[in-house]
Structures are given as C-alpha cells and as structure tokens.
Amino acid sequence: MDIADMAEGAIRLALAEDLGTGGDVTTAALVPAGMEGTAHIVAKAPCRMAGGPVAERVFALVDPRISFETLVPDGDDAASGRAVARLGGLLAGILTGERTALNFLCHMCGIATVTSRLAEMARPHGVDILDTRKTTPGLRTLEKYAVAMGGGVNHRMGLFDAVLIKDNHIAASGGLEPAVRKARNALGDRFEIEVEAASLAQVREAVAAGADTIMLDNMDPGTIEKALALIDGRARTEVSGGVGPENLASYLMPGVDSISLGFLTHSAPAADLSLEIE
C-alpha cells in the first residue's frame, strides 16, 4: 500500500473540511465549467520533496480526469523555482483541489527538508535521526513518511510496535528494574526493551536490568558523556529531549547511536510551494 492509499481517509477529510456543503463557490462563479488548462506546482525555495502522491490523490478525488505528472519525486531535492509537478484538465477541479494539495505538500516537504539537513549533519558521525510520537493527530503516517523521505528513521509508529518504558511506567511499576522485568516476562522476545533514563543513577539501573536501548532523556552533553562511559557499549543509546537544529552538533559524539527530535514533526516550518496556472 503506497502513501496515498494509506492517507486517503485524511485526504477525504481535508477536502470535506474545505468544501463543506456548498463546494468551491468562488471557482463556480468565475470559471466556466468546461474550461481546460495546465498548471505547475513550483518550489519557491529549496526543499526536499515529500507528499507528491498525496497531492496527486487530492486532485484525483476532486476530478479523476485531472492529469498529474510528477517532475521531482519524493526523496529528491528541488531547487528554488523548480516545477515539481505538472497538472492538466478542467481548471475548476485544479483550483478546487489547490489549497488542500498544497497544505499537504508544504507541511510534508517542510518536515522532509528539516530532516534532510539534520540527517546530513549526523551521518558522518554514524548517528541516526529519529522521529517521535509528537505528531499531528490523524497525520502521523504522513509526517513519519516525510521524515523518511528526508533521510530520518521512523522510531515507532505507535504504542503497538515497540516497547519504551518511560518515567510514568517506572513509577507505576515500582522502579526501573521491576519495569524491565515485567516487560520481559509479559512480552518475551517479541520486542526489544528501551528504557528512558533521566539520571546517571537510572542509567546504571538500566544497564544492570539488561535494557536493549537506553534513552538519555533531557541530559546536557557533559552528562551524556558520563552516561556513555557507564553504558560502555552494553546497550544502544538514544539521546532525546532538548535537542533541536540549533544545538544538534553538540550531541553528535562517539557512543551515541541515535537522536530523537519531536521538532521534526511538531515544529518544522512549512516549505514554500505554489500552484501556478499557465
């Protein structure tokens, strides 16, 4: 199943939100029903593409007769002024789908563009850039797809596909070691166990408990260096909390396997794309 199929429910909801019960009253008043034309979607600033198939599905749902030709595929970079897609068909349908298609494209390309820049910084250090579950409700699949198009790694899609023992799980379980033990007893080897550690004491506990991955949560670079020395390669490491584009470089150190950033999906600025009718 491709990304457009996976996202069709969200696309239909976005179109229904925009069209309401009255449809596109401006286009209906100004554009003759049979008028045909062509249009391009243009990158107004450099960006990493993500969401082309989603934009194509928007127009197909508005009017299946609209043609959509991808000129810059997802995962590739578009220079400023570059046409990334060409459309043809009835102008009424193109105009009706314009904003919904651009909303998806600008959001997804924005995520992919930021991710691409950070992944490029991290790659020479052997560090993966991960996303989180801090996503827009209903758009997680699209946002995580955009992270992947930017060269990032999807950490977990939801609560169902990975074990991450966080502070509240530790509190509810009576401690970090009991939490790890309960998870292993309940789940066996179905999942690897990741534990959030907010202090050096918890790092020691996580190592002793046999956690597969230790998340170093909201630690400054100096504390992380001490944590890495304690772990000494006995678990994979993930840095999380307080990391953004402005300070990523200070966390790219030997022993860090990955860095997760909620910023990618909740704060990436939208890319600048527009639709231009010829």
DSSP state at residue 175: S
Q: What distance in Å separates the CA atoms of residue 56 and residue 51, rounded to the nearest whole number?
A: 9
Q: Which of 117, 166, 182, 184 is catalytic?
A: 166
Q: Which of 74, 131, 196, 205 is catalytic?
A: 196
User: Would residue 217 show up in a list of annotated catalytic residues for this protein?
Assistant: yes
Torsion angles phi and psi, residue 211, rounded to 5:
-60, 140
Q: Which of 134, 182, 184, 236 is catalytic?
A: 134
Q: Which of 74, 131, 217, 238 is catalytic?
A: 217
DSSP state at residue 42: E
CB 48, CB 70: distance < 8 Å: no
CB 102, CB 87: distance < 8 Å: no
Q: What distance in Å separates the CA atoms of residue 246 and residue 249, rounded to the nearest whole number?
A: 8
User: Would residue 166 show up in a list of annotated catalytic residues for this protein?
Assistant: yes
- Helical H segments across the chain, by residue range: 3-6, 8-19, 25-30, 52-62, 91-122, 140-149, 167-173, 176-187, 200-209, 221-231, 263-266
CA distances from 37 to 67, 89, 93, 138, 153 (A): 11, 6, 10, 34, 40
User: Would residue 134 show up in a list of annotated catalytic residues for this protein?
Assistant: yes
Closest CA to 147 of 5, 8, 3: 3
Strand partners, 217: 240
Q: Which of 99, 181, 184, 236 is catalytic?
A: 99
Closest CA to 236 of 93, 126, 77: 126
CA distances from 112 to 16, 136, 149, 278 (A): 26, 15, 6, 28
Active-site residues, by number, are 99, 134, 166, 196, 217
